[in-house]
Structure 1
Amino acid sequence: MATNNSETITLNDDIEKTGQTPKQVPDPEPEVERRPSAGSVDSSDPYCCSLAPEDDPKQLPAWRKWLAVIVISTSSLCATFASSVAAFTETGLAQDLHTVHEVTILSISLYVLGLGIGPLVMGPLSELYGRNIIYRISYVLFFAFTWPTAFPPDMATYLVFRFITGLCGSAFLSVAGGSVSDLFDNHTVATPMAVYTISPFIGPVVGPLIGGYVFIVQNTDWRWCYRVLLIWQFVQIILLYTCVPETYVPVILKHKARKLRKAESEKYYAPIEVQKHSLFRMIMFSVYTPFKLLFFDRMALLLDMWSALLLGILYLAFQAFPIIFEEVHGFNVQSTGLAFLGIGVGMVIALASQPYWNWVFRREAEKNNGHPPPEVRLLIAQVGGVLAPIGLFIMAFTTYKHVHWIGPIIGSIPFGTGTCFIFTGVFTYLVTAYRPIAASAMAANSAMRSTFAAVFPLFAAQMYHRLGTVGATALLAGLTTLMAPLPFIFYKIGARLRANSRFAAA
């Protein structure tokens, strides 16, 4: 699963006058790194539409903005819930569609792969057509293409549509962060952004909880997992159409210009209407720039690998937990689903701590005259880098059969908290440190995370059966321990590395 904010938080306040996004930092390669566009806009032209207070999404009532954030976040949660709920349909799939367990695991891997690829296309489309049309069309398609996975005629059809639904659901991992930053200014955006950011990571935890307990898949048909998903998707579509306004200022101005042309004069226009965009070039930019960043910037590569490793471990748990709790401790499917509560509790604790981190970042901003360096964002990742391996080591050494089953669940709590802290720190650092190409930096992170999340479940069962529950979990803990020094190192030398980078903001 993946989160890819199309715009940086700090740039959205600057498009209020003309609907254009100015360059905040000199672009190291202007002819390549800036999204291709042409055309000029005279902001003094009386027929050029500008943003009035009544048009500004930041001026909406607080309850209206929070309602939109909650709907967007629950839509994102539903999209990632769909990725993990499939883990509790594998036995039924293998029986009804006459296949083997190893093939059914692909239902998770292909869906997550779609979540990772989709943002490369959804981001550019949202910059031309706005947020809402992407939300609504993608979610209608998400709903429509889920039907073949609920009632598949064969395994090939099921797997193909799992990949397609992943692509459709990815809109909320690529565009939604931009909507949140459209609605709130820089001083108030941290908490709503934290609510949105955590939603796609709670989704994979909610999947096993509902799939294992509420659906009671031992006693009902596995298709009920997807039937309830369809009901949830239908409700989200209604909420998206009724509760989420358009927030992308260039498109708001385009709608305003159309109304003025009908009511007053054909001379009115919006800045985005006179800019010449090549959708093909924008998509190609969105595709190749993230990989250039991974190949040529080691700091971005290491941070992306770190977050990818954690998401891979999270998705690996969907295969590892049944081994730990069913084979070792004798749980049934319902109880195994509830075992994911520990990770969920850890993530909720991380979200509850957001006011403290807001205070920390405000204090750092005051120390730096209101302009703290991007490395300040790594403070939260430092705490997460310590908590995540501690949680995994606790889980590893409490998976013995003679140890009470509550041990690994308790260990999963600091792992869940640490994972959220790491994701929050890495995401905000990438957005601020690589501001000239922030969307591409997040797309690179999304692509790598999705790759790890797709691959890890495929070898989880073999690894746990070969190394044992203790050895396999300890191996994962050791890998996260090796990565834990990264936020401490980059906090010290990040400024120097950015100064020498061809992509980062110096």
Structure 2
Amino acid sequence: MTASQRAVSPLRQVQSADADSTRRSTSEERSEADELEKVRSDEYMSGTFAPIQNPPADEERMQKLHSTSSRPIERSWSLNDGYSCHTADEEAAEIALGDDGGEADESSTFIVSWDENDPMNPRNFNTMRRWLIVIICSLGSLCVTCTSSMYTATYDQIMDEFKCSRLIATLGLSFFIWGLGIGPLFLGPLSEFYGRRYIYITSFTLFLIWLIPCAVAKNIETMIVCRFFNGIAGSAFLSVAGGTVGDLFARHELSAPMMLYTASPFVGPEVGPLRWTFYVLLIWTGILLISIVLFVPETYHPVILRQKAEKLRKETGDDRWKAPIERLNRSVARTVLRSIYRPVLLLTLEPMCLCLCVFSAILLGIIYLFFGAFQLVFGNVYGLELWQRGLCFLGLFVGMIFAIVSDPFWRRVYQRLEEKHKNTEGTTEDFQPEWRLPPAILGGPLVTIGLFIFAWTIYPYVHWIVPIIGSAFFGAGTILVYSGIFTFLVDAYPVFAASSLAANSFARSTFGGVFPLFGIQMYKNLGYHWASSLLAFLTLVMAPFPYIFFRYGSRIRQKSRFAAR
């Protein structure tokens, strides 16, 4: 029996309290009130609400007129809707936990929810339309990350034209990546007020605008500043688009589209150095912007329900029709502030979140460090031309593609773990977040093996394809690690999933911006072999953590304030 069903009886008793008051003692009334408050508290903790009282007969007739667009007398609000990670969910959770947060309006309200087969529900779009939206969002992520890495192919030209050092030229890459890390801290919360579509169109328009001064910059200062704001504007696809995928697909359908979206930001850096120009990026961005306007609708469920409630209020003249999100008294400034400090809180207090975020951050830092290292290694050791050095990144790209197409195998692994749990415990309801970690368990050793192969095969007498094969192992391992970590964080911190992913994004962007600044000096001072080996040893230290959390994660979660128990 659900919490809502349990709440029906005491709620009706309260409604008839006036008629029964002469026959009931004061102590009994207090006991009933306490019980009702306990039920309401349980409902908050379970992510559900009790049915509100039925409206009068004339209102029932009005509801029937709109039965195709609403289920008005049900309270429908989920603390976590699949992988659609909302900080609005976290607001509701904080109310449940007794933390300081916006209080819900408990006045008489008709809560607007989804109908069965509701055409406004993004998960009821036809399959082709949903996949088209995912592909456009993934191409947006690819475009943004290509913009980050294509800059590395212009280092020599920038140093010559702007008369600056290699370190100063590298700041254009670092500031772009730092912009990618800062943007999600406020773009994500803003999408909860104004919707994902509004954020996509606004941010990608700004992304297009900031590309123009980069293309015509006359000094390095202009280039660095514009690259920073370019990164902030482009970060919408790295912070909001993952929620769009969750809006469109239910949990059991999510694996393949999430793998496509997850891989696109990491494939982009490998494609970028193939000598793209800012003018090509301007054309690409313009085409994508038109595609977003034409083919990407609003998908954020709370905002669509708010639009639905506004329509019902207009049609009926009754202001009691409310969407769940309208019952939370939140301000933009307050939500943005929480989105900034809560990821820091998770990194500080949650050892699982910290270790996995550091692991993924190191991997992204190595990818961006490779942009400089590949130029040195394949230029000085093998004497390759600039365009040939760009092609060397195809090893990383191919490895990532192999990891992506392995997704059906990992789905079967997950299903076997579910079946094993069912046979052992007799139920599949209490699924374990640790079941998401097997890809990362394999990916960790692959990353280390790939780096050691790369480190000790970069000799003139060893064919250049061998270190590229090593980079392919690294690329495959990176995608597997990210796939396991991302899905684990969402399942392990379901209420605070948005903050856990924001913490991961912040850590990755910090490392991704810092590593290129010391990469060239490290390779020159330590030598190509030991510099690459140092990176391999870093991953060797981090590789066991996915397995450790697979074995002992459930125990750790029992002691956590934020993780699912």
Aligned to 1:145: 210
Alignment of 1:482-501 (within 5 A): 482-501=541-560
Aligned residue in 2 for 1:75: 140
- Counterparts in 2 of 1:333 and 1:504: CA distance versus 1, 3 Å: same
Give the corresponding residue for 2:460: 401
- Contact 1:19–1:250 under 8 Å retained in 2: no
The counterpart of 1:164, out of the listed 219, 226, 229, is 229
Are residue 118 (structure 1) and residue 118 (structure 2) matched? Answer: no
CA–CA separation in structure 2 for the residues paired with 1:355 and 1:372: 19
User: Could you tell me how far apart the structure 2 residues matched to 1:107 and 1:128 are?
Assistant: 32
In structure 2, what is the Cα distance between the partners aligned to 1:87 and 1:452?
Answer: 17
Q: Distance in 2 between matches of 1:438 and 1:138?
A: 23
- Deviation track 1:125-161 (CA, whole Å, cap 9, x = no partner) reads 1111111111110000000111111111321111111
Give 5+ residue unaligned stretches, structure 2. 1-46, 49-69, 82-88, 422-426
Change (3 A) 1:362 1:41: farther
Asked if 1:174 is matched to 2:239, the reply is yes
1:432 matched to 2:491? The reply is yes
Matched, 1:229 2:281: yes
Q: CA deviation at 1:361?
A: 1.1
Match for residue 77 of structure 2? 20
Q: Partner amino acid for 1:351?
A: I
Distance 1:245 1:253, change over 3 A: same
Q: Which whole-Å CA distance do the structure 2 matches of 1:400 and 1:43 have between them?
A: 76
Cα offset, 1:111, TM superposition: 0.3
The equivalent residue for 2:515 is: 456
Contact preservation (8 Å) 1:389, 1:480? yes
> 8 Å contact 1:320–1:460 — kept in the other structure?
yes
The answer to whether structure 1 residue 421 and structure 2 residue 474 are counterparts is no
| Cα deviations by residue, 1:222-261 (Å, 9 ceiling, x for unpaired) | xxx1111111110110111111111111111222233344
Cα deviation for residue 271 of structure 1 reads: 3.1
The range that moved more, 146-155 or 273-282, is 273-282
2:304 to 248, 252, 255: 252
TM-score (norm 1): 0.90
Give 1:38 shift: 2.6
Q: 1:33 to 1:101 in 2, by over 3 A?
A: farther
1:255-266 mapped onto 2 (5 Å cutoff):
255-265=307-317
**Aligned ranges for residues 36-435 of structure 1 at < 5 Å?**
36-40=101-105, 45=110, 48-52=111-115, 53-209=118-274, 211=275, 215=276, 225-265=277-317, 267=319, 268-368=321-421, 369-370=427-428, 371-435=430-494
Compared with structure 1, are the counterparts of its residues 34 and 207 closer, same or farther at alpha carbon in structure 2 (3 Å cutoff)?
A: farther
Distance 1:381 1:235, change over 3 A: same
Q: Is the 8 A contact 2:451 2:535 kept in 1?
A: yes
Query: Within 2, Cα distance between the matches of 1:442 and 1:62?
Result: 27
> Which letter does structure 1 place at the counterpart of 2:130?
K
- Secondary structure in 1 matching 2:452: helix
**1:372 CA drift (Å):** 2.5
- Alpha carbons 2:94, 2:101 under 8 Å: kept: no
Supply the AA of the counterpart residue of 2:301: V
Q: Deviations over 1:347-387 (max 9, x none)?
A: 00011000111111122223333342111111110100111
Contact 1:35 1:282 in 2 (8 A): no
Change (3 A) 1:477 1:254: same
| Cα distance in 1 for residues equivalent to 2:100 and 2:402 | 39
Is 1:472 aligned to residue 531 of structure 2?
yes
* Distance in structure 2 (CA, Å) of the matches to 1:464 and 1:497: 39
Q: State the 1:469 CA deviation.
A: 1.1
What's the offset of the Cα at 1:163?
0.4
- 1:30-59: CA deviation from partner (whole Å, max 9, x where unpaired): 5889793333367972xx432231111111
Paired AA for residue 112 in structure 2: C
Deviation at 1:274, TM superposition (A): 4.2
Letter in 2 for 1:180: V
Task: Write the distance in 1 (CA, Å) between the matches of 2:337 and 2:127.
Answer: 38
1:434 deviates by: 1.6
TM-score (norm 2): 0.81
Q: Is the CA contact (8 Å cut-off) linking 2:155 and 2:166 kept in structure 1?
A: yes
Contact 1:400 1:470 in 2 (8 A): no
2:333 is paired with a residue whose SS is helix
AA of the residue aligned to 1:401: P
Letter of the 2:412 counterpart: W
Count of aligned residue pairs for this structure pair: 479
- CA–CA separation in structure 2 for the residues paired with 1:463 and 1:18: 58
* Residue 220 (structure 1) aligns with: none
Task: Say if 2:204 and 2:233, in contact at 8 Å, map to a contact too.
Answer: yes
- Greater relative contact order (CA < 8 Å, ≥ 6 in sequence): 1
Cα distance in 2 between the residues matched to 1:192 and 1:269: 32
State which structure, 1 or 2, has the greater radius of gyration over its C-alpha atoms.
2
Name the SS of the counterpart of 2:530 in structure 1: helix
The separation in 2 between residues aligned to 1:18 and 1:38, in whole angstroms, is 16
Once the two structures are superposed, residues 403-425 of structure 1 have per-residue CA deviations (whole angstroms, 9 ceiling, x without a partner) of 11111111111110000000111
Q: Following the alignment from structure 1 to structure 2, what is the Cα–Cα distance between the partners of residues 176 and 29?
A: 25
Q: CA 1:23–1:167 in 2, change beyond 3 Å: closer, same or farther?
A: closer
Give the Cα separation in 2 of the matches to 1:418 and 1:65: 29
Return closer, same or farther for 1:21/1:129 CA change in 2, 3 Å cut-off.
Answer: farther
Alignment-mate amino acid for residue 511 of structure 2: F
Distance 2:244 2:306 in 1: 17
Report if aligned partners of 1:312, 1:455 keep a CA contact under 8 Å in 2.
yes
CA 275–372 in structure 1, closer or farther in 2 if over 3 Å, else same: closer
Match for 2:512: what amino acid? A
Cα deviation, residue 262, structure 1: 4.2
One-letter identity of the residue aligned with 2:208: F
Shift of residue 468, structure 1, vs aligned partner: 1.2
Contact 1:33 1:436 in 2 (8 A): no
